[in-house]
Structure 1
């Protein structure tokens, strides 16, 4: 019996070495006690109630934000492509966790798809804001076409089409018509941030930082064939070392992938190497993993870096003496602001004592034990409301932002489904040819952080 145990640990550590994971990270991959699963399912029921209560029954469009006041719920009846995606993938998640029936899920999603087919578009791409009550363009909020928001909508459509084959015809047509080439700059090899239809102009800036949420749209555009695969390698892992305005001067080396020279650079924090995001927030780094199999396929690059960012967010909170962790843009009592573990960013968002619930759930696949404890701490700070955890809390003053955002509720819902159902949403995404075709890009890269 002892020999069997010894042999199994030899195999385990060999696998750890192969996957470039720490022993602690390896041990956590199997952490899924029944009690925790039940806690998460109970929380998901409350979280999904946001979508049932604040999604217009005529259009299938979810309100962007709800604030709980003494007068009741103040509902912002506008929505974005990302919000729509979060609702669709949350509905798939709810059905798979048996919170709603398949019949209800399909009915809900059909309503949303019918609205999407009728909504104003530009080259198949969606505007940034629509009214939830009639799906009309919210013109008083501009006429902007966002690369990253459309990427998330494409991702949600792909997941729905794979989860429910009866909807695949509608979802596939919508995705096929979304022409990402119109936002691509072939001379630079990067995407513009978007296009202002009223001005008739692309943004001056590009999405040049790789470890940020726009990489989902990049992946999908490559999978569709709208842009070449070389685009993946022309996004900066860190800024070049000679750009001395960034928060650290990176170290690394040039590596050639598919004929493109890539500077595989890294930063260092508390003695640990990592590839930075732009601001240092959790959702920039971890949100793409809701649909991309970065942990499974990018074991020496994105998956490993995701683990580092989770570990370092936790380490950052400990260094500051904070009782909780999870720094990411979120609602505040009076509005919305960007929060981060600033040392993890190229041009870090501000240091702050504000933590947001969705950041903890994005970390579930990488630090489930720590996430469970963090959720307990947040609950003790009176974060729990009718629709699950409120959006944020100042852990110094313990002032809670009694707000719910469709985006953040969606990230929580999908993260729970992926954790409880073993990567369910990622499996659906990668079952589609668009999700399958670029998989080699995830597999072949090696970050300079091992």
Structure 2
């Protein structure tokens, strides 16, 4: 699609374009290296989403076109499978414009896609309204472990199915539940009965997860009341729990123990608050270029998304006792990215389209504890976009600088996932990262919807529990890496 301009008229977004769909969508598109039939022929419904837009107020004034471009990942036939209506794990945009998707579905990405669809529906999209129901149907029919969603599904004949290896990941299940909570909160007791029914369906999926949370928690393990990280079936006939626990507040997995405590809080034997409060949290000591000593929150590898993704759904900075550690974490990223003229560092594609857990040493717990560094001058746009939840104007300024330096990062399907200091870019666009990119610009709305859901569906005491958990979101100490002799 060749976009000429975007006009805001009477509160609605009107997109003026020359063609209805991207040329490579109207023709044949590549699925796992094989040419499939056209998008129209494979679609399960006649209401294709060929334009993705959200409410006018979500677009920064000087970033309208750029945000619009990145939203287009969620078009049918681009980053979304038109047969199932589910977002791909990632796509590759080839030199000739063909799209080669990975026909797998990341459960966290599904949740963020639902959040995009909700904002589309609020902006007047009937297609998004219908698609929310279709996505919920897919989730209702999807294989689960004790009500918890599987981390990665494969697509089989337009439906979510299990691969040979199944992992019920606590972090991804919690992320999807957070997004479902936003959907339910957005339409709770809505005047429109169709939308109100969507709310109840999302609520039912959330409540079905309780058995899974009890399954990941075992009272007599002597492990400081921490939650197991996952259950898995590797196909060897011996399914079971992974060995590691969720034990760090600063990493993206922190919402799993939060939901485990919230969803069971009124039960006779609830999962204790300790699954959240007993997690560790450490800050570092970092000297800025102007000589100021700051104390950033340390994520494990120094990846920015690890510290910021949960803030898409909860206004964490306003609830924690020391919000400055979030500010300091961003300052470390700003200084490193400015040094090389790249976006923030976070887990992302490499420039040769593999994958790496990039992070900045100054905010990496593993590095401060003497382990290997994941710091390389390869940045990812979605990480800088996450910074918009803290400082939108500065984040937009940094993103515009990236675009000006490396115009090759822009594709019609969104910005490519990684760029290095030489200007080399990946050909991969990752659905999870595009979801984070988009949600960063309407996170305030998502958070309001999640809060509304918890209060309405689970009561004021449940929300007070959330606030109580975050009131204990404090550092257990400062780590300083010793210089090697």
TM > 0.5 fold call: yes
Matches within 5 A, 1:52-201: 52-53=75-76, 54-71=79-96, 72-96=98-122, 98=123, 101-132=124-155, 133-140=157-164, 142-165=165-188, 166=196, 167-178=198-209, 179-186=212-219, 187-188=222-223, 189-197=225-233, 198=235, 199-201=238-240
What residue is the counterpart of 1:340 in the other structure? 359
TM-score, normalization by structure 1: 0.79
- The structural deviation recorded for 1:334 is 2.9
What residue is the counterpart of 2:324 in the other structure? 304
- The structural deviation recorded for 1:58 is 4.1
Matches within 5 A, 1:17-416: 37-53=60-76, 54-71=79-96, 72-96=98-122, 98=123, 101-132=124-155, 133-140=157-164, 142-165=165-188, 166=196, 167-178=198-209, 179-186=212-219, 187-188=222-223, 189-197=225-233, 198=235, 199-225=238-264, 227-238=271-282, 266-270=283-287, 271-298=293-320, 300-301=321-322, 303-318=323-338, 321-332=339-350, 333-348=352-367, 349-380=373-404, 381-382=406-407, 383-395=409-421, 397-416=422-441
How far apart in 1 are the matches of 2:162 and 2:134? 20
Retained in 2: the 8 A contact 1:326–1:360?
Answer: yes
Distance 1:107 1:399, change over 3 A: same
How far apart in 1 are the matches of 2:176 and 2:474? 29
1:254-284 Cα deviation digits (max 9, x unpaired): xxxxxxxxxxxx3211121133111111000
TM-score, normalization by structure 2: 0.73
Unaligned runs of 5+ in 2: 1-56, 189-195, 265-269, 288-292, 368-372, 479-485
What residue is the counterpart of 2:16 in the other structure? none
How far apart in 1 are the matches of 2:214 and 2:254? 15
Please say which of residues 74-83 and 126-135 is displaced more in the overlay.
126-135
Distance 1:371 1:306, change over 3 A: same
How far apart in 1 are the matches of 2:245 and 2:319? 27
Matched pairs, number: 377
Retained in 2: the 8 A contact 1:41–1:416?
Answer: no
How far apart in 1 are the matches of 2:381 and 2:343? 9
How far apart in 2 are the matches of 1:354 and 1:91? 31
- The structural deviation recorded for 1:449 is 8.7
Three-state SS of the structure 1 residue aligned to 2:100 is: strand
1:324-362 Cα deviation digits (max 9, x unpaired): 340001112231111111221111451101000011111
1:346-396 Cα deviation digits (max 9, x unpaired): 11451101000011111113233331221122112121111232111012x
What residue is the counterpart of 2:53 in the other structure? none
Retained in 1: the 8 A contact 2:332–2:362?
Answer: no
1:390-413 Cα deviation digits (max 9, x unpaired): 111012x21011221110000011
Unaligned runs of 5+ in 1: 1-33, 239-265
What residue is the counterpart of 2:193 in the other structure? none
Retained in 2: the 8 A contact 1:310–1:367?
Answer: no
